[in-house]
Amino acid sequence: MVKKLHYAWIILFVTFFALLAVQGIRLSFGAFIESWENEFSLDRGTISLVSTLSFIIYGISQPIAGRLIDRFGARTILLYSTLLVGLSMLFTQWITSAWQLFFLYGVVASIGVGGASNVAATVLVSNWFNEKRGVAFGVLEAGFSVGQMVVVPAALFFIQWYDWKMAVAIFGFFLLVVIFPVLLFLLRNHPAEKNLQPIGGAREEAEPSNRVPNDGAPSLGSIFRSRNFWYLILPFFICGFTTTGLMDTHLIPFAQLCGFTTTVTGLAVGLLAAFNTMGTLMSGFIADRWSSRKFLATLYILRALSICFLIVFVSDPDLLLFFVGHPSLLLLFAISFGLVDFATVAPTQLLATQLFKQYSMGQVMGWLFLSHQAGSALGAYLPGMFYEHTGDYTLAFYVSVLLLVGAAALNLLMPEPDKIMNRKA
């Protein structure tokens, strides 16, 4: 007889598609920069502030979303956050001034994106998977990269063939008509709602993952006194700075600045996202089988080396001309950076669930992803500011490399989770 598919996998893939759509739309910001500069007569630095505000609101919403998830459940928060993003995108097509862009995209949509994020997804995985969590986290994070691979080139296409207003209208319609109903009918918070147990069976430590700690559990404030938490959260801040902040916001403007065509730029973004998907899925598999802290340090060093590849070409005018004359070099960078782009998230999530499982997982993940979005906000703003003062992105690349080396060092300072477990035993 064919073994029946566990409903946990349906939960995983429904959540995957929700993240693909919502986060893919968020990651398409770079595709709209040039259009919004022309539409509202704004410079690159001001447009970068829209992205920065978006990341700040997104980040602040993470611990709030964690508390709301503890109270109302991940399904409710993910469901109505998707609805909010869809409505925001639909209304964005009718804005007529810059302040409306700041409010509708930078604030309202970002609140929705903060709810339809890794915080809710991590709680769902913790509830439904007591085994294969690394793989599940990898699949979820692949939703971000597949969204980037599909939505960002689609945004470039819609903008080129129609206009930016048509692009946001299509995105809003898709969220409201396709993604929201799927979540409504298929998503569930706990296996008990389907008379099931999680994959791997019930475990005592899995039960509190969606509750506020009881009186006997450590207070949330004690997590901030843990060195291990800072060894995890500071590298994740740097992760946000160098990925969704720097590359996802500024790669398209950087390629346009160099002189690459829309076709080459779109192909580069698509390749980055495709190999991001591959790297993310592989990272979940590896995280289940190897030291997550060593794996993270390796990923951060490889990411630094990929940015050094760009520095070689942008630091010399002759090499820059060679770079622009050989588009395959931009595609090579996209592939190398994509492999280590979102690959850091699955081992970070896995370490968090191992090191801090006695806490409310919604709150822990909320603070962790707040740090990521704070890094993203700074990573979106500073390169735009550097560009306004220097006319290029070289300084931003140098800063990113230094930060990534520091992130690798901090991850290596963490002990292995099994050693902590042995000390407690």
* pLDDT tens profile 116-159: 887 888 889 888 888 777 788 778 877 777 887 788 888 988 98
Tell me how long the chain is.
Answer: 425
**Is the alpha carbon torsion for 267, 273, 279, 285 positive or negative?**
negative
Q: What tokens appear for 212 in the block?
A: 């506020």
Q: Judge whether residue 383 has pLDDT over 80.
A: yes
Confidence of residue 205 (pLDDT cuts 50, 70, 90): very low
Residue 198 lies in a domain: no
Residue given tokens 């000390």 in the structure block: 423
Q: Residue 143: its pLDDT value, please?
A: 79
User: Which residues make Cβ contacts (< 8 Å) with residue 144, sequence separation at least 6?
Assistant: 19, 20, 23, 24, 27, 276, 280, 342, 345
* Among the ranges given (186-200, 272-286, 354-368), the one the predictor scored with the smallest mean pLDDT: 354-368
Residue 1 lies in a domain: no
First to last CA, the chain: 43
Q: Other CB atoms closer than 10 Å to residue 35's CB: what's the count?
A: 17
Q: What tokens appear for 275 in the block?
A: 């190999």
**CATH number of the domain encompassing residue 312:** 1.20.1250.20
Residue 151 lies in a domain: yes
* pLDDT tens profile 213-222: 444 445 566 7
Confidence of residue 207 (pLDDT cuts 50, 70, 90): very low
* Among the ranges given (17-21, 148-152, 407-411), the one the predictor scored with the smallest mean pLDDT: 148-152
Residue 204 lies in a domain: no
The alpha helices in 290-393, defined as continuous H runs, are 292-314, 317-325, 327-339, 345-355, 361-390
More confident residue, 205 or 169: 169
Overall number of domains in the chain: 1
User: What gap in Å lies between CA 64 and CA 69, rounded to an integer?
Assistant: 9
User: What gap in Å lies between CA 242 and CA 401, rounded to an integer?
Assistant: 9
Residue 214 lies in a domain: no
- 378 lies in which domain range? 7-192+225-424
Q: Judge whether residue 98 has pLDDT over 50.
A: yes
Q: Residue 353: its pLDDT value, please?
A: 78
Q: Other CB atoms closer than 10 Å to residue 226's CB: what's the count?
A: 14
- 17, 142 contact by CB (below 8 A): no
User: Which residues make Cβ contacts (< 8 Å) with residue 347, sequence separation at least 6?
Assistant: 134, 283, 286, 287, 292, 293, 295, 296, 299
* Cα–Cα distance list, 102 to 42, 81, 83, 118, 195 (Å): 12, 19, 19, 24, 45
- 133, 141 contact by CB (below 8 A): no
The share of the chain scoring above pLDDT 70, in percent, equals: 92
Confidence of residue 202 (pLDDT cuts 50, 70, 90): low
Residue 365 lies in a domain: yes
What is the mean pLDDT of the segment spanning 395-418?
Answer: 90
More confident residue, 407 or 252: 407
Please state the pTM of the whole predicted model. Answer: 0.69
* pLDDT tens profile 30-64: 788 888 888 888 877 788 788 778 878 887 887 88
Residue 220 lies in a domain: no
Q: Which of 174, 189, 196 is nearest to 15 (CA)?
A: 189
* Average pLDDT score over the chain: 84
* pLDDT tens profile 259-294: 888 788 888 988 888 888 888 888 877 877 788 889
Confidence of residue 1 (pLDDT cuts 50, 70, 90): very low
Confidence of residue 424 (pLDDT cuts 50, 70, 90): very low
- 19, 142 contact by CB (below 8 A): no
Q: Judge whether residue 182 has pLDDT over 90.
A: yes
